[in-house]
């Protein structure tokens, strides 16, 4: 990417966990679906009402289902962007609440992306910068933090038989409130999100390690190999053995 260029488009991802860093700033905004992200060690979501700012050289890992769609703006790190005059502020607030003016920008872009000219895309990026500055990249609300604490707890306890009550307690919310927030921000339930996180972890181990499938099942919170196989087939349309063979074929 040229040091003075911008890139703006709508992107979808493979469903695989990806990790990298780049020499430009990036803003990620949701259209549909949920992206799990970790930016310099801080986990969070890009989902309805939540976006993310990734500063230059920040290491970040992310995962989103292929059905998800996200507005991604790559912004040059040339020292002239008003968005980055207080870079440390943005490093501390990687995840932020989407304000109504910003949501209006997202809706406009989603409706015009196929016809918008390069000049108009550059103008949109300028409006994005101004809108984020006007809202001071509004940090996570208390509700956002509840969801993020819940997901961090789930990731740390994948192999354990945790309940929604356990998750709610770790997140600092009642079960009813937790369900409500997950529906609003992820379109899923806490239990459903936990199941997907466990399958994500199993897929990573199946494609990056040589651990026995039965051990992977237990490590990722499944009762046994049969349970993992059944859930992968239902949710992802694949079996552990197929995933492992695919790794061998591509490697």
Q: What is the pLDDT of residues 171-190, one digit of tens each?
A: 999 999 999 998 887 778 99
Q: What is the per-residue pLDDT across 187-208, written as a single tens digit (0 to 9) for each?
A: 789 999 899 889 888 887 888 7
Asked which of 11-20, 29-38, 172-181, 228-237 is least confident by mean pLDDT, the reply is 11-20
Distance CA 5, CA 24 (A): 10
pLDDT over threshold 70, residue 234: yes
> 10 Å Cβ neighbour count for 230?
14
Q: What is the pLDDT of residue 165?
A: 96
Output the CA–CA distances (angstroms, integers) from residue 193 to 128, 179, 240, in the order listed.
31, 11, 20
pLDDT over threshold 80, residue 86: no
pLDDT over threshold 50, residue 88: no
Q: What is the pTM of this model?
A: 0.61
pLDDT over threshold 50, residue 85: no
1 Cβ contact partners less than 8 Å away, ≥ 6 residues apart: 7, 22, 23, 24, 74, 76
pLDDT over threshold 50, residue 49: yes
Q: What is the pLDDT of residue 103?
A: 87
pLDDT over threshold 70, residue 36: yes
Average pLDDT over residues 17-24: 83
Dihedral (C-alpha) 115, 116, 118, 122: value to the nearest 10 degrees? -170
Q: Please give the angle made by the CA atoms of 186, 140 and 62, to the nearest 5 degrees.
A: 55
| Extended beta strands in 161-240, E state | none
Percent of the chain residues topping a pLDDT of 90? 27
Q: What is the pLDDT of residue 226?
A: 96
Per-residue confidence at 159, pLDDT binned at 50, 70, 90?
Answer: very high
Average pLDDT over residues 102-110: 87
Q: Give Cα 86 to chain centroid, integer Å.
A: 24
Q: What is the per-residue pLDDT across 208-217, written as a single tens digit (0 to 9) for each?
A: 789 999 999 9
Output the CA–CA distances (angstroms, integers) from residue 185 to 75, 86, 100, 125, 213, in the order listed.
26, 28, 16, 25, 33
Q: What is the pLDDT of residue 185?
A: 77
Percent of the chain residues topping a pLDDT of 70? 86
Q: What is the pLDDT of residue 173?
A: 93
Per-residue confidence at 3, pLDDT binned at 50, 70, 90?
Answer: very low
């Amino acid at each position: 990417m040229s040091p003075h260029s911008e890139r703006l488009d709508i992107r979808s991802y493979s469903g695989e966990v990806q990790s990298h860093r780049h020499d430009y700033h990036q803003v990620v905004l949701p259209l549909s679906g949920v992206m799990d992200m970790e930016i310099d060690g801080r986990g969070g979501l890009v989902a309805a009402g939540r976006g993310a700012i990734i500063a230059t050289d920040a290491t970040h890992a992310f995962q989103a289902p292929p059905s998800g769609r996200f507005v991604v703006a790559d912004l040059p790190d040339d020292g002239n962007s008003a968005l980055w005059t207080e870079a440390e502020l943005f490093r501390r607030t990687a995840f932020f609440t989407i304000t109504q003016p910003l949501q209006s920008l997202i809706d406009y872009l989603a409706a015009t992306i196929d016809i918008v000219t390069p000049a108009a895309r550059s103008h949109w990026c300028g409006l994005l910068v101004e809108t984020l500055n006007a809202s001071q990249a509004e940090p996570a609300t208390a509700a956002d933090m509840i969801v993020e604490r819940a997901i961090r707890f789930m990731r740390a306890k994948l192999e354990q038989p945790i309940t929604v009550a356990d998750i709610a307690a770790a997140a600092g919310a009642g079960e009813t409130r937790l369900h409500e927030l997950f529906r609003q921000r992820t379109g899923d339930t806490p239990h459903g999100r936990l199941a997907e996180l466990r399958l994500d972890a199993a897929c990573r181990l199946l494609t990056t390690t040589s651990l026995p499938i039965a051990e992977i099942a237990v490590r990722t919170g499944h009762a046994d190999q049969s349970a993992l196989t059944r859930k992968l087939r239902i949710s992802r349309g694949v079996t552990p053995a197929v995933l492992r063979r695919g790794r061998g074929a591509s490697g």
